[in-house]
Copies of this chain bind each other. A is one copy, B any other.
Amino acid sequence: MPAPDPARRNERSRRAILDATRALLAETGYADLTVGAIAARAGAGKQTIYRWWGGKSAVVLDALVDTVAAEGMTLPDSGDLRADLRLVLRATVAEFADPVLSATTRALTIETLIDDELAVQVRDRLLRPQLDAVKDRLRAGQRAGDVRTGVDLDQAVELIFGPLYHRWLLRTGPLTEEYADGLVDLVMTALRRGNGRAADDDERRGS
């Protein structure tokens, strides 16, 4: 009998733990999720989870990063920037409007406000790849002449997600498809070329 391969066994355990975390998040939500429950569902030891991750928030972060990575981090490029942004914004609004996903994001946001190290991890591993995917699409839009050349693309990405995040976090209004489409229209007006001379004058005057 050949010796078991510890690397493969570890990878199987890791996958089982992340799958169990996602399943339990959907079933019980973040607040009631425990490392013990994840371990039991995954057929792993609690000590394994503590040794590999340190605690609940880190294993949840890995489970979310894993999902986002599996979904792929490139935006569609149909050639119609407005249509592509509408797809992204509608999908993001739907995620924020989903009670389970929203509760998980809210819980993770709390922990990032308390724990600076986790905040860096969430920003660089979970958030940045998603923001960068939108930035790449805007850069393609810039090459195609749909976005003015003077626009700071990091600011443009924040102009898209900031208002949504603000509305979700502070619960100041409904999160609907109409809202998503309206936001895209405002953003497109802010970014695009072809507004005539006024927009270009503005760039020279503004910065």
Seen from chain A, the residues whose Cβ lies within 8 Å of a Cβ on chain B are 106, 109-110, 112-114, 119, 123, 127-128, 131, 151-152, 154-156, 158-159, 161-167, 169-173, 178-179, 181-191, 194-196, 198-199, 202-203, 206-207
Contacts and interface: CB of A to CB of B under 8 A. Distances in A.
Given A163-B163, A181-B207, A195-B199, A186 B123 contact: no
- Is chain A's interface secondary structure helix, strand, loop, or mixed overall? helix
B123 A172 contact: yes
Nearest to A206: B185
Contacts of A162: 158-159, 161-167
A158 B161 CA distance: 10
A162 B131 CA distance: 15
Contacts of A167: 158, 162
A15 to B, nearest CB: 29
B189 A195 contact: yes
A76 to B, nearest CB: 20
A159 B158 contact: no
Contacts of A164: 162
Most chain B CB within 10 A, of A128, A159, A163, A188, is at A163
Nearest to A152: B182
Contacts of A202: 185, 188-189
B198 A194 contact: yes
Contact of A173 (B154, B172, B186): B154
8 contacts: A119-B171, A123-B171, A151-B186, A154-B173, A159-B186, A162-B165, A165-B165, A165-B166
